[in-house]
Chain A
Amino acid sequence: MRRRPGIGGLQTAAAARDQYKKLGENVAKIRTDMMKEQLSTFRSQLEDFARKHKNDIRKNPAFRSQFHEMCAKVGVDPLASNKGFWAELLGIGDFYYELGVQIVDICLATRPLNGGLINLQELCQLLRQRRKSDRGVVSEDDCLRAISKLKVLGSGFEVISVGKKKLVRSVPTELNKDHNEILELAQGQGFVTVDEVERRLSWTSGRAIDALDTLLDEGLAMIDDGHKDGKRRYWFPCVSPISSLTGIDSL
C-alpha cells in the first residue's frame, strides 16, 4: 500500500490499522485455542502415565522425589492446587495435604516438650508410627515438601539446618544466628552450660546468658540445676540424642 497524502491516505491508514487489530485478535484467539489443544493432548498423555504408574508414585518414595525434581525443573507445581491435573489424575495432592495435617498435629502435640522445634528424624518416626496402617512409605523428602507447602499459612512452619541435623520449627518466633550456634553446640550432649558456650564460641558472658535466657523464655530450653558441680545446665529436647517417643503413643 502506497502512502498517499490527503483524506484518502488517512482512510487507508485507518483501514490498515483495523486490519492489523483484527489480525492481532485472531492471533490471540489462535493462541488460546492452541493452548487448549496442547492441554488436552498433555492431559491424555498424563492419563496414560497415571494408569501405568500411579501405584509407583504412591509406593516408591525415590520415584516420587524424582518426579518432583523434574516438575520443579520444568516449572510446574504439582501440589499447587487440588484442582490441577496432577492431583486429579495422579492423586498425589491428597497424599501431601494429609501429610501436612498430620505434621501439624504432631508438632502441636510435642510442643509442650520441645517448645516448637522438633528434630526432623523424630518427626518422621512419629509420622510413620501414626500411619502404620496406611499404604506407602513416607520419606524425609515427602515431609520436607509437605512442610514447604505449609509455610504459606504463616504460622512459622519452616525447616532449619543446625549443623548436621535438620529441625522443624512450628512457632513464629525467629531464631537468630546466636541461637542457632547454641543449638549446634548442644547437639553433642544434649545440653550446654554457660561456661561451655563462652569457651567454645568465644562470647562474652553477657551475650551467652542473654541468648540462653531467650531460648528459655520461648520454651525451647529446660534448666537443670541438680548436677553435682552446681553449674546450671540448659537442655534442648529438640537436638538431644534421647528421643522423646514414649508418651506420644496416644496420638
Chain B
Amino acid sequence: MAGNSLPPVNLTDNGRPVLLPNEIECFFLSGVDLLCEDEPNSWFPHLKSGLLILTTHRLLWLPDTAVASSSSASAVHLSSISHIFPNKKSLKSVFASRRIRFQVSPETGSRSVVVTVVVRGKGDFDAFVAKFWENWRGRAWEESEKVASSSSNAVAGAGSASSGSGIYSSDGTVRMVGVSGILRKEQEMWESTDKSLQDAFQDLNALMSKAKEMVMLAEKMRLKLLSGSNSQTNTTNDEEMGSKEEMQELLLSVGIISPVTKESAGALYHQQLSRQLADFVKVPLERSGGIINLIDIYCLFNRARGTELISPDDLLQACSLWEKFDVPIVLRKFDSGVMVIQNKSHSDEEVFTKIKALVMKPDALRAGISPSDAARTLGVAPAMAKEHLLSAESKGILCRDVSPDGFRFYINLFPEIDRDDVYLVKDQGIYPSWVRAIPALG
C-alpha cells in the first residue's frame, strides 16, 4: 500500500476545486486512473477512476462522487514534473486504454517515480496530451511569481511604449495622420467591406450546406439518445454512459440542445457549470433573504465572468442539474411563470407562518398588508414578497383587496364563518380577533 504524500486539493462544498491565483482550468477528462508502476513506492498513491482536471499550474485529480473511493482529491504541481515521456505508438497501445507517462519528484525528497495516467473514459486524448505539454512548457507558475515581484517595474515600462513618431508605427503599418489619414482610412474601410462581403456571402453559403449535413446526422444521434434512454432499463454500464455523454457533447458543439435525460447528466461542461453556479449563488442568496430571481442571477453571473459568458439556456440546464447533485439550492417556478432560485431550507411553510403572524397584528387586521410591508418583514425583494403573498392566497390563507389605494392582503376569514349561521361569532379563533380589532362598527 503506497502512502499518499501528494498535496491535497481544497474543495468547496459543492465539489469544485479551489484554484490558485491566476490558475485557469484547461481540460477535463473523466474515468482516469493515476498509478505508479515503480517499486518501491512510498509516496505516490494509487488513484482509481476519477476526474482529471488539467490547469495551467497543476494536474488535479478528483474522486468520482458516484464511486465511494477511499482516496481524496490530490494535486500534482506541474513544476514537480521533470519529464513527460512521448507517446509510443505500439501494437499494444492500440488495444489498451490510452495512457501517458511522466516522471515526477516529490517535494519531500523521496525518489522520483514514473507515473502513468490511464484514460478509461471517453475524451479527446490527443488534445489533452497536447495541452499537457503546452502547459508544462509554459510554466505559468513562474510567470505569476515574476508578475508579483515586478509590479513596480510595470509602471515605468508603460511610459516608454507610448512615445514613437513618424508616419510608420512600430509594427510597420502606415499611421493615420491628419486629414489625408482620415480620408485614407475611410477609403480602406469601404474597399475592404465591399470585397469581403462578397466573399463572406459565398463562404457562408458553403458553410451552411455543410452544416445541413451535420444537422441531419446529429438529429439521428439525438433520436437514438432519447430512445436509448427509454428502452434500456438496467443495463447502464460505463460504456453506454460514456458514449451518451459523448454524443451530447457533440450535439452541443454543433448547436443543438439535447435534453437532460434520466441517466446521463448532459455534457461535462454543464455539470461543471452547475457546480460553479452553486458556489457563486451562495452570497447573493444570503443577501436577498434566501430567494432570488433567475434573471438577476443571470446578470450577476455574467457580469462577474466578464468574458466567456453563458447563455440563458446554459443557465437553465445547469440549474436543472442541481437535483442530481447534492446541493442545498433548488430552482422553482411560480404560477405566474417567474423562476427563482431558493435555499432548500427556505421552506414555504416557514414563510406562510411568518406571513400569518404579520397579518394577525391589530394594524394588519384593520388595514391589511401590502407587498412592501411583507418585503420588509420577510427580508426579501418586493417582487418576491408579492409572489409569496399570491401563493399564500392560493393556499387560502389570505384574501386580496383591490382598491384605488392599491393591492392589499388580509387574513382569510371565510373558513371560520358558518354558512348556516352567518352572524355567529365564536369565542376563539381568527374571526373574533378580527372583530375585536376593528373599532366599533355598530
Contacts and interface: CB of A to CB of B under 8 A. Distances in A.
Interface of A: 28, 31-32, 34-36, 38-39, 41-42, 45-46, 48-49, 52-53, 56, 60, 63, 66-67, 70-71, 73-87, 93-94, 96-98, 100-101, 104-105, 149-157, 172, 217
Given A32-B247, A94-B308, A80 B313 contact: yes
B309 A153 contact: no
Given A38-B214, A56-B197, A97-B302, A79 B315 contact: no
Nearest to B301: A101
Contacts, number: 179
29 contacts: A28-B224, A31-B220, A31-B221, A35-B218, A38-B213, A41-B210, A42-B211, A42-B214, A52-B199, A53-B199, A56-B196, A71-B211, A76-B254, A76-B256, A80-B256, A81-B252, A81-B313, A81-B317, A87-B311, A101-B309, A151-B312, A152-B316, A153-B315, A155-B293, A155-B294, A155-B339, A156-B337, A157-B295, A217-B407
B376 interface: no
Most B Cβ at <10 Å: residue of A36, A71, A81, A152: A81
Interface of B: 193, 196-197, 199-201, 203-208, 210-215, 217-221, 224, 243, 246-247, 250, 252-257, 267, 269, 293-295, 298-299, 302-303, 307-317, 333, 336-339, 402, 406-407
A221 B253 CA distance: 46
B298 A80 contact: no
Contacts of B208: 70-71, 73-74
Q: 7 closest Cβ contacts across the A-B interface?
A: A154-B339, A76-B255, A97-B309, A155-B295, A152-B312, A83-B269, A70-B208
Given A52-B203, A81-B257, A153 B295 contact: yes
Contacts of B256: 75-77, 80
Contact of B302 (A45, A74, A83, A98): A98
Contacts of A32: 221, 243, 246-247
Contact of B298 (A53, A82, A153): A153
B361 to A, nearest CB: 26
A155 B212 CA distance: 34
A154 B294 contact: yes
B210 A42 contact: yes
A149 B312 contact: yes
Given A32-B246, A97-B309, A172-B336, A104 B295 contact: yes
B319 to A, nearest CB: 10
A39 B32 CA distance: 25
A93 B211 CA distance: 18
A92 to B, nearest CB: 11
Given A63-B200, A70-B204, A74-B212, A84 B302 contact: no
Nearest to B209: A74
Given A60-B197, A217-B407, A84 B308 contact: no
A30 B336 CA distance: 48
Nearest to A57: B200
Contact of B311 (A42, A79, A156): A79
Contacts of B212: 74-75
A85 B254 contact: yes
A49 B213 contact: no
Contact of A97 (B221, B311, B337): B311
Contacts of A104: 295, 298-299
Given A83-B253, A97-B310, A156-B337, 8 more contacts: A42-B214, A52-B196, A75-B212, A76-B215, A79-B313, A104-B299, A153-B294, A156-B338
Given A80-B313, A153-B312, A101 B302 contact: yes
A82 to B, nearest CB: 5
A84 B197 CA distance: 25
A53 B206 CA distance: 13
B112 to A, nearest CB: 37
A207 to B, nearest CB: 17
Contacts of B299: 101, 104-105
Contacts of A46: 207
A39 B295 contact: no
Contacts of B220: 31
Given A45-B210, A84-B253, A153 B316 contact: yes
A53 B199 CA distance: 9
Contacts of B197: 56, 60, 63
Contact of A80 (B255, B333, B336): B255
B239 to A, nearest CB: 10
B251 to A, nearest CB: 9
A53 B196 contact: yes
A28 B227 CA distance: 14
A60 B308 CA distance: 22
B308 A71 contact: no
- Listed residue (A41, A76, A83, A96) with the most chain B CB atoms within 10 angstroms of its CB: A83
Contact of B193 (A60, A73, A83, A172): A60
Contacts of B316: 152-153
Contacts of A28: 224
B27 to A, nearest CB: 13
A116 B277 CA distance: 28
A86 B213 CA distance: 16
A35 B303 CA distance: 36
